[in-house]
Amino acid sequence: MKLRTCISISLILIILIADQIIKVAVKTNMSLFEHIVVTDWFHIAFVENRGMAFGMDFIGTTVLTVFRFLAVGAFGWFLVRCIRSRCPIGFIVCLSLVIAGAFGNIIDNCLYGLIFTESQPANPFYAPVAEIVPFGQGYGTFLSGRVVDMFYFPFWQWPESWPLIGGRTFFGAVFNLADAAISVGAVAIIVFYYKLLSSLLSGSKEN
């Protein structure tokens, strides 16, 4: 049980720290919507959103953050249960990724509006890059912070002749490390641990 606990805590901390380092670096060094081409298939594109993962924006920030708090609490309780039940380490890793990712975006929602000035598009008349300010003097209030996204992978564009999707970029979403952790963890659970998850949720002793 100690090994599973150490792996889980270490992974969550690593994801959280790395996610915040990347976000702060982007927010304090790039103007909003600034675009850096690293390779043809990998860009750094600074955007912010108030809503769901991968740039979707259709739920209020406060409502979404409260939902995330509840979700992290539920997943945390479930993770502790799985550790005590000695579930496979791979399953513990997947749950830890989901928790770390959700909590990483919660930090943005809760604190970024309080500690950063507002990011702005490039403009010759004012400084567009955000700055860290004394707590409470930022661009928003508690729970009003916007999530920072930056990773963009334009692998290819659909042929112009194709209806509906012609000319559009395959997987055009911009996302962050927290989003990636949630997605990787959730997909891995569904693909590799669906039966185990079903048995745990149904109260079965099989694991």
Catalytic sites, residue numbers: 149, 179
For residues 176 and 89, give the distance between their C-alpha atoms in angstroms, rounded to a whole number.
25
The DSSP secondary structure of 97-156, one letter per residue, reads: HHHHHHHHHHHIIIIIHHHBPPP-B--TTS--S--B-STT-SSS-TT-PPEEEEEE----
> What's the token pair of residue 124?
């010759």
Alpha-carbon span 201 to 183, nearest angstrom: 20
